[in-house]
Amino acid sequence: VPKIAGRGAGAGWLRDPEAMVAMAKRVVSAVSLPVTIKTRIGYGPESHMPIVDLARRLEDAGVAALTIHCRTAQMGHSGAADWAWAQRAREVVTIPVIVNGDVKTGEDAQRALAETGCEGVMVGRRSIEHPWIFREIRSLLDHGVAHAPPTPKERFDLCREHLEANVEVRGEPHGVRCTRRHLSGYLSGLPGAAELRRRLNVTDTLAGCLELLDAAEGRLLAA
C-alpha cells in the first residue's frame, strides 16, 4: 500500500534492509513465539533486488520462516510475479520459504512448488473472490486430482452465509455494504451475474439481498 510504504512501514522496509533486519532481531528477542516475515523481493527498480541477501540476514536474525511475494513494491499487483526469486532465496537459507504471487488456481500452486522447491505456497487476492481455491489446491497436492468447481448452489449459499454473518457482527446496513464486494467474486461466471451484481450493489438491506439471491438462484435452476 503506497501510503503505508511511504511512511517506511510495510514494503517501505525494503528501502532500508539494515533497519528491517534490526527490527526482526528485536521482535525475535522480545517474544517466545516463532516469528515469520512476509516481504516482496525489493522496493524497486528491478535492478536492485535485496531479497537473497536479506533472506540470509533474516535467518541469522532468528526469523523462523519467510514468505516472498515475488514482485517489487513498485510493481504493486501489475506484471507477472517472478517465482525464480523465491527459489534463489530458498537456496541460501535453511528456514522454510513460502512462495506468493500469481497463485490463482490449484495448478498454479502445484507449478509454483515444483519450480521453486519452496516448502509452501501462499494464496492472496484470489482467496477473497474464490475461497474454494484451498480445496482445489489440496486436491491436486494430496491426490493429483483436479477438484470440481463450486456448484451454483455452493456459490449462492456462501453469498447468504457471508451476508448474514457480517450483518450479525456489523449490523445493517454496514454489514451488507462491506460484504457486497465479495459477492461479485462468488457469483463470477454464472449466467446473469453482471445484472445481479448491479442490483446487489444498490441494495442496503439483508432482506433485499437475500430476495435477489433467491430469485436469481431460482431462475438459474429453472433454466
- What's the pLDDT score for residue 208? 97
pLDDT at 77: 87
Task: Show the domains of the chain with their CATH numbers.
Answer: 2-124 (3.20.20.70), 152-222 (1.10.1200)
DSSP state of 71: E
In this prediction, residue 15 carries a pLDDT of 87
The CA distance from 67 to 64, in Å, is 10
CB neighbours of 207 closer than 8 A, spacing ≥ 6? none
Name 72's bridge partners. Answer: 42
Residues 56-100: pLDDT tens digits? 999 999 999 999 999 998 888 889 999 999 999 999 999 999 999
The pTM score is: 0.87
Summarised one tens digit per residue, pLDDT across range 156-175 is 999 999 999 999 999 999 99
Cβ–Cβ under 8 Å, residues 69 and 102: no
Q: Can you spell out the DSSP letters for 90-140? A: HTT-SS-EEEESS--SHHHHHHHHHHH--SEEE--THHHH-TTHHHHHHHH
CA distance 58 to 64: 9
Higher confidence at residue 45 or residue 17?
17
Q: Which three cell numbers stand for residue 170?
A: 456489523
C-alpha cell belonging to residue 68: 516472498
**Residue in the block written with cell 522480545:** 30
- Hey, which bits of the chain come out as E strands? 36-42, 65-72, 97-100, 120-122
Determine what percent of the chain is predicted with pLDDT higher than 90. 84
Q: For residue range 106-126, list pLDDT tens digits in order.
A: 999 999 999 999 999 999 999
Q: If 0-12 CB within 10 Å is exposed, 13-18 middle and 19+ buried, where does residue 166 land? A: buried
